[in-house]
């Protein structure tokens, strides 16, 4: 999928579902439940056992409906392997020029993690289109609002500690989308087979973002 389409879907829907530590046999039910709630972008983290197989399965079975990505991509070799498995974008917790180069050479979207103005401007110079503000919960919505003073043209995706209680505040501070892990892809709900509640949570997150982005 073309990079601009991936970016547009992320910004239009506002939510990237982060799947971490999930069992392979649960993957398709999770993805279907999230999709039914309006989530169209999903990432499997590379510290999840069997992540390449899960990315491959998602790309094969949900690739027409959802944007499939990889998270926690820490080096260029991993970047290559997730692309080969079918990922159309990658996220990282850090700013690694080698990972950015590897993804850009394949014309794939890379969303690196940034936490300081220096990292943000460095990422911009490396041609990064979207940046992961991490750890967003610890930094706070006020931090985002203040860095967007001098850096208003940077498009941020807060990740880490985002929930229904603070997501509106971040959206109003200028975030374009959010990465949500356990607050959305909740382990206890999955363990108990309560996939309908995953759908409900997905709907709640998407609706809350939409409401606050346009307020």
* 70, β-bridge pairs: 44, 90
In this structure, what token pair is assigned to residue 87?
Answer: 């990922």
Spell out the domains of the chain, with CATH numbers in brackets.
3-213 (3.20.20.70)
Burial class (CB in 10 A: 0-12, 13-18, 19+), 109: buried
SS3 207: helix
Task: Reply yes or no on whether the pLDDT at 82 is more than 80.
Answer: yes
Kindly write down the DSSP assignment for every residue of 98-125, as one continuous string.
HHHHHHHHTT-EEE-EE-SHHHHHHHHH
Q: How many CA atoms lie within 13 A of 211 on its CB side?
A: 10
Helix segments in 63-166, DSSP class H: 76-85, 97-105, 117-125, 136-139, 141-147
Task: Reply yes or no on whether the pLDDT at 103 is more than 70.
Answer: yes
Residue 1's pLDDT is 79
Active-site amino acid positions: 43, 132
Of 67, 56, 100, nearest in space to 1 by CA: 67
Predicted confidence (pLDDT) per residue in 127-139, tens digit: 999 999 999 999 9
**Does the reported pTM lie above 0.95?**
yes
How far is residue 152's CA from residue 133's CA, in Å, rounded to a whole number? Answer: 14
Q: Mean pLDDT score of the chain, rounded to an integer?
A: 97
Task: Reply yes or no on whether the pLDDT at 212 is more than 70.
Answer: yes
Q: What is the DSSP letter of 159?
A: B
């Amino acid at each position: 999928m073309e990079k601009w389409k991936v970016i547009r879907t992320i910004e239009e829907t506002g939510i990237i579902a982060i799947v971490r530590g999930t069992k392979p046999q649960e993957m398709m039910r999770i993805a279907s439940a999230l999709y039914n709630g309006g989530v169209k972008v999903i990432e499997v983290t590379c510290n999840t056992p069997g992540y390449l197989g899960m990315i491959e399965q998602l790309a094969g079975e949900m690739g027409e409906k959802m944007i499939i990505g990889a998270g926690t991509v820490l080096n260029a070799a991993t970047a290559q392997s997730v692309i080969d498995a079918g990922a159309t974008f990658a996220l990282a917790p850090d700013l690694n020029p080698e990972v950015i180069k590897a993804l850009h050479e394949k014309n794939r979207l890379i969303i690196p993690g940034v936490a300081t103005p220096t990292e943000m401007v460095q990422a911009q110079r490396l041609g990064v289109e979207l940046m992961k503000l991490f750890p967003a919960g610890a930094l706070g919505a006020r931090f985002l609002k203040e860095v967007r003073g001098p850096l208003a043209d940077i498009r941020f995706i807060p990740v880490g500690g985002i929930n229904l209680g603070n997501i509106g505040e971040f959206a109003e501070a200028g975030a374009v989308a959010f990465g949500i892990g356990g607050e959305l892809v909740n382990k206890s709900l999955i363990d108990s087979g309560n996939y309908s509640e995953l759908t409900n949570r997905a709907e709640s997150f998407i609706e809350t973002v939409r409401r606050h982005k346009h307020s």
